[in-house]
Amino acid sequence: MQFEIDERQPIYRQIMDALIRQIARGHWPPGGKLPSIREVAEGVRVNPNTVARAFQELERTGLVETRRGEGTFVTIDTKVIKDCREETAREVWAEFLVKIRELGFTNEDVQRLAAELKEEGKR
Amino acid sequence: MTIPAVILDNVVKRFPLTKALDGVNLAIDPGKVVGLLGHNGSGKTTMLKIIAGLRRPTSGRVEVFGMAPGVETKKRVAFLSEVNTYYDWMTVDGLLNFVKSFHPDLCLEKAAELKEFMKLKGAAKIGALSKGQQARLKLVVGLSRQADLMLLDEPLAGIDPPSRAKILHALVGELRQEGQTVIISTHEVKEAEPIFDHVVFLREGRNVLEGDAETLRAETGHSMEELFGEVLE
Amino acid sequence: MSKMFFALYRKELGGARNIFLTILGLILGLGVFLLTRISTWGYWQAFGFTFLPLAFLVFWGMFRAFAIVREEWKEGTAPFLRSLPVSGWSIIGTKLLAVFTEWVVLVLATLTISALFYAAAPLWGAEWVKLAELPNLVERIKFVAVFGASIALGVLLGSIIFQLAYLLGRTVNRFSGLVSIAATIGLIYLTSKSSEILVRWLSFAPSINFINLESVDIFSFTTATFLVMLIEFALLFLVTGWVMEKRVES
């Protein structure tokens, strides 16, 4: 796992979000094993304590579970993953709406744009 | 309740013409990687030396793993000075063996790996090493040990910029022993920023800002580097 | 514990190797030089000069004891030494022991040269008596032993005084040099004053008598002097170790 961190935001939060997106996308399948804390720490080049914190927070969401001595695994409860995916999508959508409204777009404009883009995609 | 690795309670250190520390209060939990951030002359070295038991505070209380600094705490602490403090006439291997006589926790296999990593020859005389090699040598000595508390005074001084990030990450990553508390003093925050759990900003002998790095990021929306500029200018 | 002590001792010997070899070389060089002088100075005068290094070594021993402590600060190694988990007494003790070892070796080297000179006297046709045939040999050996031991103890006492004085200077962050000088004077005054009193108190201590030495019939040496030096050395050692561990800054 590798990405640019933004030092102005909590780093554990960024690691956690990145993992959630990867799980939502199915990069780590249900029941699959996540990379170890050390591996992530080396990839992102941060302190392992920070990664451990990201894993702890992630565990609290129920999306992953840590088995002692074995590692951290994605939950096999696909409903949790699905819910999480939906929720993340809603967040992304909400962010998108904020940005597009800053351009003066109304809900109708957005729907029109979506339809146009869909047509373009077909061609 | 765990015993803090370090407690400083209203610690003052007066020198004839200056006050190096002017009432520092600090508690550091075990296992944390702490950034001691401040400009030159802000009291970082004095603070580390007081924790290491090399200097005595003028007033105030100091505890390291619940004990006053002394022979017992020195067994568990590795203090790595900014300048070379090793004997010039010793060889690199001679020094490692010397240190091992006092610290059985020093692992010679790990030392061999570190020498390789830092590109140092065991037979080299310490006095003949360059400043940069001497800076690497102390990291070899410190990291070969399994000290519960590692005090690093400006570990990046003398290390060439391309190697800095690599060494820093190795320092808190693969080279660090599980549960080890590390205090790193530096005035170059940018490179070290992502490795700190906890930061202490020191100005004129006072810790003007201190806290969990992530909490500070969340609260202020600033990086530690930006805070360094803001708080210490 | 003994492992740490031994490591420190070896370190002190290692650090002092160059200066030790230099002095040893000078002593041997003087021996060779005196050999070449026999023809011009005469045998007995040259032989007398073989003892010259002894006078120098008395001061050199004390100077080295002082220097071996001062070097830690001068070379900037004090923070490393003092970060090791050892008591101040171990540090001071190993330094004294190392200096004393070197001192003894150098004294023995000097005496060996003198002995070789003596043994070789017939080569130059000097009037010569075999050692075994010297009158009152046992008394002479006893005298040399007692005299040698008190000189050695004196050197140790002087050594610890200079070490303590230097370290007291190191407990302050300014005017270290002045404090050291003042402490040297103060400590010498203190030891000589307390010696007077202690010797009086210990007047019951037995004397060692030497009979029929060269010019005197009976030469008497009181063991009180010996005891006093021993007590003073022990006390100063305790204080110095404590200062090294708890009071100096590095």
Confidence at residue B145, expressed as pLDDT on a 0 to 100 scale? 93
Fold of A11-76: Arc Repressor Mutant, subunit A (1.10.10)
CA B48 to CA C173: how far, in whole Å? 17
Residue B134 has pLDDT above 90, yes or no: yes
Residue C229 pLDDT level (bands cut at 50, 70, 90): very high
Chain C's closest residue to B46, CA to CA, is C250
- B contacts of A47 (beta carbons < 8 Å): 33, 172-173, 194-197
CA C127 to CA C125: how far, in whole Å? 6
Amino acid at B210: E
**Sign (positive or negative) of CA dihedral C97, C101, C106, C108:** positive
CA B175 to CA A120: how far, in whole Å? 54
* Percent of chain B at pLDDT exceeding 70: 99
CA B223 to CA B225: how far, in whole Å? 5
Chain A's closest residue to B170, CA to CA, is A42
Asked if B80 and B158 count as a contact pair (C-beta separation under 8 A), the reply is: no
The residues, ordered by sequence, that sit 6+ positions from C229 with a Cβ below 8 Å of its Cβ are C150, C153, C154, C157, C195
Confidence at residue C143, expressed as pLDDT on a 0 to 100 scale? 87
Asked if A10 and B218 count as a contact pair (C-beta separation under 8 A), the reply is: yes
Q: What is the DSSP letter of C73?
A: H
Asked if B139 and B114 count as a contact pair (C-beta separation under 8 A), the reply is: yes
Which is higher by pLDDT, B167 or C36?
C36
The mean pLDDT value for B27-36 works out to 95
CA A11 to CA A51: how far, in whole Å? 9
Asked if B208 and B215 count as a contact pair (C-beta separation under 8 A), the reply is: no
Residue A1 has pLDDT above 90, yes or no: no
The mean pLDDT value for C50-63 works out to 95
CA C246 to chain centre: 27
Q: What is the pLDDT of residues A44-88, one digit of tens each?
A: 888 889 999 999 999 999 999 999 888 999 999 999 999 989 998
For residue A73, list its beta bridge partners: A33, A65
Chain B's closest residue to A41, CA to CA, is B173
Q: How many C-beta atoms surround the C-beta of residue B58 within 10 A?
A: 13
Confidence at residue B1, expressed as pLDDT on a 0 to 100 scale? 67
- B contacts of C87 (beta carbons < 8 Å): 71
pTM (two decimals): 0.90
Q: Which residues of C174-204 are buried (b: 16+ CB within 10 A; e: fewer)?
A: eebeebbeebbeebeeebeeebeebbeebee
Q: In A6-106, which ranges are continuous DSSP H helix?
A: 11-25, 37-44, 48-60, 78-102
The mean pLDDT value for C9-28 works out to 97
Mean pLDDT estimate for chain A: 90
Residue boundaries of the structural domains of chain A? 11-76, 79-122
Asked if C61 and C98 count as a contact pair (C-beta separation under 8 A), the reply is: no
Confidence at residue B5, expressed as pLDDT on a 0 to 100 scale? 97
Residue A122 has pLDDT above 80, yes or no: no
Confidence at residue C216, expressed as pLDDT on a 0 to 100 scale? 65
Q: In B36-91, which ranges are continuous DSSP H helix?
A: 44-52, 71-74
**Residue bearing tokens 């999480």:** A84
Residue B82 has pLDDT above 90, yes or no: yes
Q: Which helix (H) or strand (E) holds B26?
A: strand B19-28
Lowest average pLDDT, out of A91-100, C133-142, C228-237, goes to: C133-142
Q: What is the pLDDT of residues B142-162, one digit of tens each?
A: 999 999 999 999 998 888 888
Confidence at residue C203, expressed as pLDDT on a 0 to 100 scale? 86
Q: What is the pLDDT of residues C124-156, one digit of tens each?
A: 888 887 777 877 888 888 888 998 999 999 999
| Phi, psi (deg, nearest 5) at residue B40 | -60, 135
Confidence at residue C235, expressed as pLDDT on a 0 to 100 scale? 97
Q: Which residues of C92-125 are buried (b: 16+ CB within 10 A; e: fewer)?
A: bbbbbebbbebbeebbebbbebbeebeeeeeebe
- C contacts of B89 (beta carbons < 8 Å): 14-15, 17-18
CA C30 to CA C33: how far, in whole Å? 5
How many A×B Cβ pairs under 8 Å?
56
Confidence at residue B207, expressed as pLDDT on a 0 to 100 scale? 94
Q: Which helix (H) or strand (E) holds B207?
A: strand B206-212
**Residue bearing tokens 């941060």:** A46
List of chains touching A (3+ CB pairs within 8 A): B
